[in-house]
Chain A
């Protein structure tokens, strides 16, 4: 009776589950696959998101086809359960990142997902702002209707164009000379409302100009250009022309822009759809005010460059170039000073030559004074001081030690300085006035004159061998050197350095090996035993000559013991006739045993076999010694 009751209760449970399932609504057993790409139009330096969504109870890994020109890489996957009006559905979404290697229109062919195939997808790839307005999915694709809230590509391109920053280089004039320095303002204009982030410093590129002071902080102002408001960053620096020709000023600065697009963010809309309903025309999204809250923002990194208007750089004219011109370009004044303004022969005085003005002061150089019969002039040192950070204006002082060689009223000559004035496009030569100085005879005079005479210098009264103050020619001897190359550049030098090093290495290796061997106890014992064998054999010979049988056999036994102990690696005192019998079988063993037995008899029994027999025993012992290595 109990069993039928149990079956009956199972039927009730099954019936209830069936009713509950029916009440919960039909489960959509059939799977649908949709493929979307967002955006369908993008630029070469951008990417799109390809999403394959499986709705239903079936999921399979899509087989992504190869599309020449496109790179499709998986990004991730997600799954969710949807219950709408009582219908329960599982949603599997796989996301891929699509980038392009070239411009063009691409068709991603139907993607196979399990036993189903999706529709094909068309993608347009263009350069910045030129991506076409092509469609996203082929007509008739399952679930392929374009979302109503997607931003039109034309709007995107227009928004990007409108948000683009610009850079201007403001120069005092468009024609410069090589070496000229001019103040320059670099202005970067950013549209108001566009959030921008500088990704790197403003940097000069190219080899036609130098731009200094770019590492300084720019000033920020607001300007209106063409009725539009801009935030302007301004760098004030100095531009120098390096070579002649027509070149644009090469500058660049990476900037990331956050551009607000018209319309709503389709990603956000999709998330809202997933949250609140399947239709994009749901109650929330139909509310335009609400939709605007999710206006799409795209991030774009651009390299900001000035317009390519070239600056004309003229070469410095050859005509009229003074002989002492050394590259100074600008407007300068010169002055000189001698301190102290009097002295004695041989006393050093300091001559200062100062160039003041505006221009390429760092390239101003001058020879100032030169040696003469009255003055010995030494190398000058220079120091530049600028009035501002730009280095455009300031002064440069050349300090030169001078030593008077004669007494009396001497004159330091005028020092000329030539530069090119870019304003007038002419060379200008300025000179300091000569400086008169009173020099008295000093104690150093004789010493200076003596030194100069020793060197055979002219103007000091030194003998002039050829009448031209030169030491005369010498007779050419056969000694020759084929080269003036330093030793270290000659091929044999490396070998001559390596050879002692290798020799040293070899010596050290040998010594260490020797030390290792000499410290080995086994080797030391081996050597000691061989020495003992040798001594005992010599003792045998001595005993034989003396006819001393006990000494002969004692030495013979010790020689055999030491040798066998060395071979068997045992203490010598353990080697006896018994051990020999155990270890050396056959006739050789018998011979050795006989020697040991005879040694016993001679040593302890006083047996003396006679001189003839001792010689025979010696032969037998030596024979066995020779054979020991083989038989033992």
Chain B
């Protein structure tokens, strides 16, 4: 009986929602409601470290940063939230606000890239993977006799088209994996050295694409095609494994 009770307790604890596991979320919400955004930022960041990434937490953290007058970390957190909830209108609206407060023009992309971004990169990867499995199943059906064989050819056609479209779209969105947000105004340098000459400048909150890393420096490409080296503390990648 004791054993059963213990197991039941363990099960209950494991089934408890994340809010109960991470008390800092409640504290963060209280702090944000009270207008103490410094505390809210600390608590939300603590919650992310403990519980992993979450679109609502990232969104609220972005709001807290923006209310503190820090658009760059706000943009970073909104961008991360959009990765998890790509269709969220509030996130998009607040991201646009943060970009405007940072003095950044809204990003402009070509028609093909815009079309490819209708779904996220991960969606295309999932679709491609499903198409691959479907293709495999269709080939197995093709080897059978009788009625199942008739479904094989349409399935192969559907799977092949899906695979091609997914692969093309994923290739177009590939660079999105290396997006990063500039956290402080900085100068692009010609070489990965502190004494290297300037090659341009980056604005706070600007989205750049990381192309290479070397000795504490990141080679980044800006949206207008300029490249240069910046210190790795200045830019933070959007797609990352850990908070």
User: Which residues from chain A sit less than 8 Å from chain B, CB to CB?
Assistant: 178-179, 207, 240-245, 315-316, 323-327, 329, 360, 363, 365, 367, 370-371, 377-382, 455-458, 468-489, 493, 496-497, 500-501, 503-504, 507-508, 510-511
Which A residue's beta carbon lies closest to that of B177? A486
The distance from the CB of A264 to the nearest CB of chain B, in whole angstroms, is 55
State the B residues within 8 Å of A (CB).
17-19, 25, 29, 32, 47, 51-57, 59-60, 63, 66-67, 80, 83-84, 89-94, 96-97, 100, 103-106, 108, 121-122, 125-126, 129, 132-133, 135-136, 139-140, 143, 177, 185, 187-188, 190-191, 193, 195-201, 203, 223-224, 226, 238-242
Residues of B near A493 (CB, < 8 A) are 125, 129
Known: A178-B198, A382-B224. 16 other contacts (CB 8 A): A327-B199, A367-B103, A377-B105, A378-B106, A455-B93, A456-B97, A472-B63, A474-B56, A476-B56, A481-B53, A481-B54, A481-B84, A483-B53, A485-B241, A489-B241, A500-B132
Q: Could you tell me if B25 and A481 are in contact, using CB atoms closer than 8 angstroms? A: no
Give Cα A326 to B201, complex, Å. 5
Is the beta-carbon distance between B125 and A487 smaller than 8 angstroms? yes
Contact A470 B143 (CB under 8 A): no
In the complex, what's the smallest C-beta–C-beta distance from A33 to chain B, in angstroms? 63
CB of B195 within 8 A of CB of A327, answer no
Kindly report which residue of chain A lies nearest to residue B128, judged by CB atoms: A497
> In the complex the two chains form, is B96's CB within 8 Å of A474's CB?
no
Q: How far, in whole Å, are A112 and B238 apart by their CA atoms in the complex?
A: 77
Q: Quick check: A486 and B121 within 8 Å, CB to CB?
A: yes
Q: Is the CB of B93 within 8 A of A471?
A: yes
Report the bound CA distance from A382 to B223 in whole Å: 13
**Contact at B240–A476, with CB atoms within 8 Å?**
no
Contact in complex: A327, B100 (CB < 8 Å): no
Complex contact B200–A365 (CB within 8 A): yes
Return the contact of A507 from the options B25, B32, B140 (Cβ within 8 A).
Answer: B140
Q: How far is the CB of A266 from chain B (nearest CB, A)?
A: 53
Smallest CB separation, A534 vs chain B (Å): 23
Least Cβ–Cβ distance between A147 and chain B, in angstroms: 58
Question: How many A-B contacts if CB must be within 8 Å?
Answer: 184
**A458-B71 Cα distance, complex, nearest whole Å:** 15
B241 CB to closest chain A CB, in angstroms? 5
Q: Is the CB of B187 within 8 A of A327?
A: yes
* B56 A475 Cβ-Cβ under 8 A: yes
Closest to B222 in A: A365
How far is it, in angstroms, between the C-alpha of A192 and the C-alpha of B240 when the chains are bound? Answer: 66
In the bound complex, do residue A480 and residue B18 qualify as a contact, i.e. CB atoms below 8 Å apart?
Answer: yes
Contacts of A240 on B, CB cut-off 8 Å?
197
Instruction: List 12 A-B pairs, Cβ < 8 Å.
Output: A244-B195, A327-B199, A468-B66, A471-B90, A471-B94, A478-B19, A482-B52, A484-B84, A485-B241, A486-B239, A504-B140, A508-B139
Contacts of B201 in A (CB 8 A): 324-327, 365, 367
* Structural contact, B238 and A484, CB atoms closer than 8 A: yes
Chain B residues with Cβ below 8 Å from A457 are: 93, 96-97, 100
A504 to B200, CA, bound (A): 52
Q: Which residues of B contact A470 (CB under 8 A)?
A: 63, 66-67, 94, 97
Indicate if the CB atoms of A365 and B226 lie closer than 8 Å.
yes
User: For residue A313, which residue of chain B has the nearest CB?
Assistant: B195
Residue of A nearest to B189 (CB): A327
Contact A484 B53 (CB under 8 A): yes
Docked complex Cα distance between A317 and B28 (Å): 43
Tell me which residues across on chain A come within 8 A of B198, comparing CB atoms: 178-179, 316, 326-327, 363
Beta-carbon contact of A241 and B224 below 8 Å: no
Q: Is the CB of A480 within 8 A of B195?
A: no
Cα A41 to Cα B49 with chains together (Å): 74
Report chain A residues within 8 Å CB of B122.
486-487
Q: A457-B93, A503-B136 are in contact. Are A476 and B187 (CB under 8 A)?
A: no
Task: Please report the C-alpha to C-alpha distance between residue A504 and residue B136 in the assembled complex, in whole angstroms.
Answer: 5
A324 to B198, CA, bound (A): 13
Chain B contacts of A316 at CB under 8 A?
A: 198
In angstroms, Cα B26 to Cα A473, docked, is: 13
CA distance A479 to B85 in the complex (A): 12
CB-contact partner of B135 in A365, A371, A475, A500, under 8 A = A500
Q: Is there contact, CB below 8 Å, between A484 and B136?
A: no
B241 near A483 with CB under 8 A, answer yes
Q: Roughly how many angstroms separate A323 CA and B185 CA in the complex, as a whole number?
A: 9
C-alpha spacing A270/B125, complex, angstroms: 80
CB distance from A538 to the nearest CB of B (A): 27
Cβ-closest chain A residue relative to B54: A480
Instruction: Check A327/B197 contact, CB under 8 A, given A484-B84, A504-B139.
Output: yes
Contact A243 B193 (CB under 8 A): yes
Asked whether A507 lies within 8 Å of B143 as measured between CB atoms, the reply is yes
